[in-house]
């Protein structure tokens, strides 16, 4: 069951680069995190084409490209070859030993 969860800091939307995004592009960031958790490993996942990602998650292609570019400019996301690499994935997604107690 824990494989279905991602850790998301309550202040995620207050991050400067995220706060500057239009609302739909903010949603894309959450979808990227979930996509990486579902289909990737250790913060690395094959980068889908923006059109495909948009259809999968019911967002516009523009929202995907705006979010991706902002994340790259901020250093939160790196494109390596055909992969997305989420910077600091291990730092934010490592197992929290107290999570069972809190849930």
pLDDT digits (tens, 9 = 90+) for 33-78: 999 999 999 999 999 999 999 999 999 999 999 999 999 999 999 9
**What's the pTM value of the predicted model, to 2 decimals?**
0.83
8 Å CB contact between 25 and 15: no
Tell me the per-residue pLDDT of 10-30, one tens digit each, with 9 for 90 and over: 878 888 899 999 999 999 999
Nearest CA-CA partner of 76 in 67, 86, 65: 86
């Amino acid at each position: 069951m824990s494989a279905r969860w991602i850790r998301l800091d309550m202040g995620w939307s207050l991050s400067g680069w995220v706060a500057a995004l239009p609302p739909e592009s903010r949603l894309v960031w959450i979808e990227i995190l979930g996509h990486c958790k579902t289909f990737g490993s250790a913060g690395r996942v094959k980068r889908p084409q923006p059109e495909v990602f948009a259809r999968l998650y019911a967002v516009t292609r523009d929202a995907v490209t705006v979010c991706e570019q902002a994340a790259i400019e901020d250093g939160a996301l790196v494109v390596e070859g055909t992969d997305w690499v989420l910077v600091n994935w291990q730092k934010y997604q490592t197992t929290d030993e107290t999570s069972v107690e809190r849930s």
